[in-house]
Chain A
Amino acid sequence: MARMPASSPASRRVLVVVPAFNEAGTVGQVVAEVRAAQPGADVLVVDDGSGDATATVAERAGALVCRLPYNLGVGGAMRAGYRYAMRRGYDAVVQVDADGQHDAAYIEALLEALADADVVIGARFAGVGDYPARGPRRWAMLLLAAALSRLAGHRLSDVTSGFRAADRRAMAVFATHYPAEYLGDTVESLVIALRTGCRVAQVPVAMRSRAAGRASQSPVRTTVYLGRAVVALGLALVRRWPTELESRVGPA
């Protein structure tokens, strides 16, 4: 089959990657929603060593399923997804959480924004997403947003969002460098993208509350979160990253 021009959005081959860890209850619906919203896109569920029926449910819903042999965290799951996308010559990757908090209807908006950016974050807008964050957790998010906005040169309000799209340029970076550490999958990956010269933009989206709630908000845990956020950000800023793009991951 003839390869179509990658620049035209209509013919763009899109892979939606859904990292899932014990999300059998929601992943089926997420896959169905994504397929309904983006009929032309392929859906890859990366089962991050789940102990439940996540992989079977996702497969039944019509997704490709990649089973990690043990739990690697979101970073490992996403890097596997980016590698697959690079090898199969996709033009864009969209990351969607398996817990159902991301509305597949916004995927189109993320993809459209890729016209002027390499990474697009789906950012919760104030109030509408009704995101319960206060105290140290909120401070952490504000601090991270401020630091990354400065690095990007324009305002990024929600840098911990796992709802994002990447074009080929960013995919090449993420396929080799996608951190596995805590908060690395969100914050540090953005720092890597920015420092390797990718343009990062954001699109406002409304988030749904988690279908199976578990957003723990105890003061100790949120304080720990703040500390880890500061450490993750500090490390990301001082670490050495490749300054130019390299692609050692299969045909690009």
Chain B
Amino acid sequence: MNANLVLGLTGSLVTLVVLFEMLRRHRLREKYAIFWVLVALTTLLIAVFPGVLLWAADLIGVEVPANLLFFGASLVLLVVSIHHSYELGRLEDRTRTLAEEVALLRMELEQKRRAPSDEGAPGDTEAGSSGDAGAG
């Protein structure tokens, strides 16, 4: 019982301090911090009042309360991982688009530099002058 209290307290308090410090140094966005603060506070609650866990386990019908805790914790981690994969994929998509745009812009710039007087670059013979080429 005592060990549970010590572990729970240390874990949640260390997490809270780290989160605070990361926020202070602009290393963490609020939208992510809020979630982790909630997780840390829940851990703190269960460490200080183990009765909450016993009550919840009894309510759902789980015989060993610790199992409920483990189940809940792994579910939370799973959801967070999936969310991160989603965010990562979205970022990859965006950097890919940016990379393509940068490459095209760079090519255009080099063409302009080579032929500053007109749109005499090889790919620029007809439609280029009516498009975005003349806007720069």
Chain A residues packing against B (C-beta within 8 Å): 1, 3-4, 13, 15, 42, 44, 46, 64-70, 72, 76, 79-80, 83-84, 87-90, 180, 250-251
Contacts and interface: CB of A to CB of B under 8 A. Distances in A.
B99 A65 contact: no
Contacts of A13: 126-127
A87 B107 CA distance: 13
Contacts of B106: 66-67
Contacts of B103: 46, 66-69, 80
Chain B binding surface SS class = helix
A65 to B, nearest CB: 7
Interface residues of B, number: 22
Interface of B: 96, 99-100, 102-104, 106-107, 111, 121-133
B99 A70 contact: yes
B131 A83 contact: no
Contact of B126 (A64, A76, A89): A89
Contact of A87 (B99, B121, B129, B132): B132
A76 B131 contact: no
A66 B99 contact: no
Contact of A64 (B102, B122, B133): B122
Given A13-B126, A66-B107, 9 more contacts: A4-B126, A13-B127, A64-B123, A72-B100, A84-B104, A88-B124, A88-B127, A89-B130, A251-B132
